[in-house]
A and B are shown apart, each in its own frame.
Chain A
């Protein structure tokens, strides 16, 4: 679950983001507390707090005094936009570059995408088709 070599607080923040993106953590719902995160992931509470702070800075979580952390309204949109861009950087740019070296145009690529998606309907569960 936790992978080495990357700051833990980032991984905690991403885990919360994942739940918001996939809908398990709805907007306006209460987010797990720092202590709950620490206990669940078996990590230092200060690390969990850092991850949570990153999400409040981003406007994904909001603090309600005396009650706890909540998922901000509009949080999912923020995250989807962010991930859409990241997805394009990470996958689409190299895809286009490789396509160009193979002499494939955008239409060829689109056709290829559709062809492959039809072959593997069950694995087509990526952020791309939600965004």
Chain B
């Protein structure tokens, strides 16, 4: 399959801060991606450059094989739902949806109506007066009903309660099944989206830390719990992502898929094995690269030299 988006050696500098540092990736068609990372990692910058709403400092971006800047042919096939989308002062949701309908050739009005109903969105109230959740609902509706070939959702859930978020995930999956397309979902609620995303991209401090199939990432790390001495003996020589101890009991999260021998060894040492969720793994990985980690992440192939650690202390 040819990629819908190709990014090579992309960099973005804001004065002192290098927001994107030598980012290369390729986005495949008809795939749901999770774009994950901490606040300020560069997720929104990356998405806004891919949708021609921001300029790259250097590097190359191809969307459907073309340069997206001022390229209506490309942009009408791409939808970017921003976390902080601005609307005209006196606009109501009904106006925002009408504008979207004109812009996106694949717009499905029935779907938009149905979603507005499910989110109980007041269509004629001025957007300025909407709650944060209702504002997010406007974005979610536009993102889904546009049926753009590539749709970016930048933290689309802000202010949405658990019920509304579930509606979003369910409708996303439902509509994706019927109309496969590329979805790029940026989220901090990793556990909530872990099962929806086929591929996961983790960005940390402007760099791609991980770009892999979600299923391949699962089981990439494990936590062993038990007597501190036994934990240390078993983890010796392994890559430890995180270790904590309470009295004589320690818990260590180690990187690497466990072999049957590893498992047998854990049982023999009297240790317990706990799975590591995608969210926990990403928290550990991004935490570690923020500390003075001795080596660069072994998970990222694109990532030759050690991280430059000149950033602020978090």
Contact = CB atoms under 8 A, between A and B. Distances in A.
Contacts of B198: 44, 46-47
Contact of A43 (B196, B218, B222): B196
Nearest to B277: A4
A8 B177 contact: no
Interface stretch (B11-19, B95-103, B166-174): B166-174
Contacts of B170: 39, 42
A2 interface: yes
B275 A46 contact: no
A5 interface: yes
A54 to B, nearest CB: 12
Nearest to A41: B195
Given A42-B169, A42-B170, A44-B197, A4 B31 contact: no
Interface in B136-182: 169-170, 173-174, 176-177
Contact of B196 (A4, A7, A44): A44
A47 B195 contact: yes
Given A4-B275, A4-B276, A38-B177, A43 B195 contact: yes
Nearest to B194: A4
Nearest to A8: B215
A94 to B, nearest CB: 9
A42 B173 CA distance: 8
A3 B173 contact: no
B195 A44 contact: yes
Interface in B195-250: 195-198, 214-215, 218-219, 222
A6 B275 contact: yes
A70 interface: no
Contact of B277 (A5, A42, A43): A5
A46 B31 contact: yes
B173 A47 contact: no
A3 B222 CA distance: 14
B23 interface: no
A16 to B, nearest CB: 17
B31 A42 contact: no
Closest 4 CB pairs of A and B: A5-B275, A4-B277, A43-B195, A4-B275
Interface of B: 31-32, 169-170, 173-174, 176-177, 195-198, 214-215, 218-219, 222, 274-278
